[in-house]
């Protein structure tokens, strides 16, 4: 190979390497930073139309949502400061977890304010009403249980049978809860009746609770008044003590 041909090949290799570097160079591009598209160099493409959201911001707010509230002194989106609840530094895109209420409870995570306990909780995980405030079912006339009996040893599946006034039903159903001795929900189900529930008379109901045996020794079966309004003043509960071992 002549010296001239060798130099020509070297020049071709250099030109090819320069072309590859130019194609793969990310300097001339749009980069997502702080919730905004930032131009680096002179990109040939227009600014992306999709929202710029950093993964870090989403992970940070999800950690706080698990606690049921978000510290208002922090900026969970990782970008511009919030001007009001539910707003975002990206037009048209709400901040994840930005729907906290006046008590700091994150509704999108299932949390609501429990006045009786003074904290945010998920009603399917924990009763809002303290157990000591719930009357024993044998002390009232609104509902009765024929199975199980007070203090009975229960296991899954648990068949629950009893009677309650028609005013405790909605669409022929009323809620049954099985909770441990600390008020944490083990299982819940809607008991049903085949009778006409549009009455103030007492009618029968039946439900089946399926659950895993808890580590605690005792708990309560809760018969609840169905409350489609969601208003606390319309709530009513009766409890029956049971044993798990």
Q: Which of 94, 164, 163, 131 is nearest to 242 (CA)?
A: 131
**CA–CA separation, 211 vs 176, rounded Å?**
13
Per-residue pLDDT reduced to its tens digit, 193-234: 999 999 999 999 999 999 999 999 999 999 999 999 888 788
**CA–CA separation, 204 vs 221, rounded Å?**
17
Question: Residue 179: what pLDDT?
Answer: 95
Evaluated on CA atoms 7, 12, 13, 14, the torsion sign reads positive
Q: Which of 122, 164, 109 is nearest to 140 (CA)?
A: 164
Degrees, nearest 5: CA angle 3-7-13: 145
Evaluated on CA atoms 180, 185, 189, 193, the torsion sign reads positive
Q: Which domains does the chain have, with CATH numbers?
A: 37-122 (no CATH), 131-243 (2.60.40)
Q: Are 219 and 242 in contact (CB under 8 A)?
A: yes
Q: What are phi and psi of 184, to 5 degrees?
A: -80, 135
Per-residue pLDDT reduced to its tens digit, 66-83: 555 544 444 433 443 443
Per-residue pLDDT reduced to its tens digit, 34-45: 667 777 677 777
DSSP label of 130:
-
CB atoms within 10 A of CB 169: 23
Q: What's the residue count for the chain?
A: 245
**CA–CA separation, 240 vs 135, rounded Å?**
9
Q: What is the pTM of this model?
A: 0.58
Cis peptide before 43 (omega within 30 of 0): no
């Amino acid at each position: 190979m002549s010296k001239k041909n060798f130099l020509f090949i070297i020049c071709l290799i250099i030109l090819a390497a320069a072309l590859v570097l130019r194609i793969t160079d990310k300097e001339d591009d749009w980069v997502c930073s702080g919730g905004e598209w930032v131009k680096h160099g002179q990109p040939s493409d227009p600014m992306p139309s999709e929202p710029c959201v950093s993964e870090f911001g989403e992970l940070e707010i999800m950690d706080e949502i698990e606690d049921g509230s978000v510290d208002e002194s922090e900026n969970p989106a990782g970008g511009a400061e919030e001007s009001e609840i539910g707003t975002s530094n990206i037009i048209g895109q709400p901040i994840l977890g930005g729907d906290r209420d006046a008590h700091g409870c994150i509704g999108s995570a299932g949390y609501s304010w429990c006045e009786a306990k003074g904290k945010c909780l998920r009603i399917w995980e924990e009763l809002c009403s303290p157990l000591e405030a719930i009357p024993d079912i044998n002390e009232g006339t609104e509902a009765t249980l024929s199975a199980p009996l007070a203090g009975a040893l229960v296991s899954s599946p648990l068949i629950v049978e009893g009677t309650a006034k028609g005013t405790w039903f909605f669409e022929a159903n009323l809620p049954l809860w099985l909770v441990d001795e600390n008020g944490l929900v083990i299982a819940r189900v809607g008991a049903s009746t085949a009778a006409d529930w549009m009455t103030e008379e007492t009618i029968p109901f039946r439900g089946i609770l399926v659950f895993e045996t808890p580590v605690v020794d005792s708990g309560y079966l809760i018969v609840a008044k169905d409350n489609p309004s969601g208003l606390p003043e319309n709530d009513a509960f009766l409890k029956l003590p049971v044993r798990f071992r």
